[in-house]
Amino acid sequence: MTRTQQRILAAATLGVVAALCVYYYFTDPAAGGTPRCLLKTLTGYDCPGCGAQRALHALLHGRLSEAAAYNPAAAPALVLAAVYAAVELMPGRFPRASRALMHPAAIMAVAAAIVAWWVARNLC
């Protein structure tokens, strides 16, 4: 990783941490004031991400069971996003993981899991 890439990564990490701190201290999605899901507003059905704002807020406050009640897929999705981000930011460091995660079968598996979650949460 070049020096410029390291600086960009450090700046991006700092930006994400700052945004999470602001979100943690100054918002409460359960109290309202945050954007509502357009799909749910129009159709009445939950999208795969419905409840993710409240789940993230609960996770940041250490309330795991509350986060799981809002959106059980939020925590695994965050872990998967972090893995993909790490592999994308450092492809030379994790070449096998990069090839595996970017393989069409892996991408289709993630897409299929999202669709399955979408259908399952609206059937219950």
Half-sphere exposure of 84 (CA within 13 A, CB side): 12
In this predicted structure, what is the pLDDT of residue 37?
86
> Looking at the 3D structure of the chain, how many domains does it have?
1
- pLDDT, tens digit only, all 124 positions of the chain: 688 888 898 899 899 989 888 877 887 777 776 778 889 999 999 999 898 888 988 888 899 999 999 999 998 999 999 998 888 888 788 889 989 999 999 999 999 999 999 999 999 7
Q: Which of 28, 72, 20, 79 is nearest to 51 (CA)?
A: 72
- What pTM did the predictor assign? 0.69
Domain assignment of residue 81, given as a range:
3-123
DSSP line for 66-93:
HHHHH-TTHHHHHHHHHHHHHHHH-TTT
